[in-house]
């Protein structure tokens, strides 16, 4: 996002819930006054991340579903985002698409990146909005039709990335902070989408990290995500990865640009 903003693109982040049931994952923020006002704190964090990235951002207004834990899993809370009928959940995003008129949509895959119920619902409403926003007969009253031209899924945790970083760290005699996490990922055996698109953005890794750390209730700045030296990250894996799920324009794979096939056409 930071790269495309710097190149003059307009970027909108649509945040579907308020994170009201989210956990505090940063020990420095684990305080009663934060937990009591978690929804407001998360809005402040989002505003700071938005400012750092230079994007626009808006909330759709749904209530966080939380991440159910246990065996068997407990039922989701009544009225939460993940339990909304699809057309109810998708309507605000269709409205946002018709107002903002994007050429490209980015979203989670069918598993939500990892199976958080709100991530999975985010995938569903994103696909629905991509398919419906250009149809004048659907979602009346939400603005003039607009058809996005490309839909991508984030490929957030490609195994090859972590393997390449682990190799580079080993060659330098450094500890791999991802070792335990990689083992857990292998045990869970999450499906891996084909990477169709690799976008170079190493110049913006520091901006990315500052925007992540702005989400202070969720991100521990002393955690393992930030333990790999920046020069190694830039050298070993300078890209972010995506899977092209839908395209209304001709493009050749693999791509190195989310606007591949669009720059001349549009």
Tens digit of each residue's pLDDT (9 = 90 or more) over 242-254: 999 999 999 999 9
Q: Are 103 and 135 in contact (CB under 8 A)?
A: no
Separation between Cα atoms, residue 219 and residue 222, nearest integer Å: 9
Q: Are 208 and 161 in contact (CB under 8 A)?
A: no
Separation between Cα atoms, residue 231 and residue 60, nearest integer Å: 38
Output the pLDDT for position 184: 80
Q: Binding residue per annotation — 119?
A: yes
Phi, psi of 5, rounded to the nearest 5 degrees:
-60, -45
Output the pLDDT for position 224: 86
- The strand pairing partners of 255, in sequence order, are 197
Phi, psi of 22, rounded to the nearest 5 degrees:
-70, 155
Output the pLDDT for position 183: 84
What token pair was written down for 19? 């994170």
4: left (phi over 0), alpha (psi -120 to 50) or beta: alpha
Output the pLDDT for position 22: 83
**Could you say which residues of the chain have pLDDT below 70?**
189-190, 266
pLDDT digits 0-9 by tens, 70-103: 888 899 999 999 999 999 999 999 999 999 999 9
* DSSP collapsed to 3 states, the chain: CHHHHHCCCCCEEEEEECCCCCCCCCHHHCCHHHHHCHHHHHHHHHHHHHHHHCCEEEEEEECCCCCCCCCCCCCCCCCCHHHCCHHHHHHHHHHHHHHHCCCEEEECCCCCCCCCHHHHHHHHHHHHHHHHCCCCCCCCCCCCCCCCCEEEEECCCCHHHHHHHHHHHHHCCCCCCCHHHHHHHHHHCCCCCCCCEEEECHHHHHHHHHHHHHCCCCCCCCCHHHCCCHHHHHHHCCEEEEEEEEECCCCCCCECCCCCCCCCCC
Output the pLDDT for position 188: 72
Output the pLDDT for position 130: 98
What token pair was written down for 194? 């084909």
Please, which residues have CB within 8 angstroms of residue 114's CB and are 6 or more apart in sequence? Answer: 190
Output the pLDDT for position 180: 87
């Amino acid at each position: 996002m930071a790269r495309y903003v710097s190149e003059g693109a307009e970027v909108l982040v649509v945040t579907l819930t308020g994170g009201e049931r989210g956990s505090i994952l940063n020990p420095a923020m684990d305080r009663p006054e934060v937990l009591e006002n978690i929804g407001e704190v998360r809005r402040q964090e989002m505003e700071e991340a938005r400012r750092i990235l230079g994007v626009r951002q808006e909330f759709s207004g749904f209530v966080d579903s939380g991440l159910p834990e246990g065996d068997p899993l407990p039922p989701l809370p009544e009225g939460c985002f993940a339990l909304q009928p699809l057309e109810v959940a998708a309507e605000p995003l269709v409205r946002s698409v018709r107002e903002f008129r994007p050429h490209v949509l980015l979203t989670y895959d069918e598993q939500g990146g990892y199976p958080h119920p709100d991530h999975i619902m985010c995938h569903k409403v994103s696909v629905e909005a991509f398919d419906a926003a250009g149809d004048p007969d659907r979602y009346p009253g939400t603005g003039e039709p607009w058809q996005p031209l490309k839909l991508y899924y984030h490929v957030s945790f490609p195994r090859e990335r972590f393997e390449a970083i682990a190799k580079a760290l080993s060659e330098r005699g450094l500890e791999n902070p991802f070792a335990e996490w990689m083992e857990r990922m292998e045990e869970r055996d999450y499906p891996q989408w084909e990477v169709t698109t690799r976008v170079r953005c190493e110049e913006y890794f520091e901006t990315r990290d500052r925007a992540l750390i702005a989400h202070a209730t969720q991100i521990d700045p002393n955690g393992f995500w930030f333990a790999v030296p920046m020069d190694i990250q830039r050298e070993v894996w300078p890209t972010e990865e995506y899977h092209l799920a839908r395209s209304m324009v001709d493009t050749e794979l693999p791509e190195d640009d989310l606007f591949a096939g669009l720059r001349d056409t549009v």
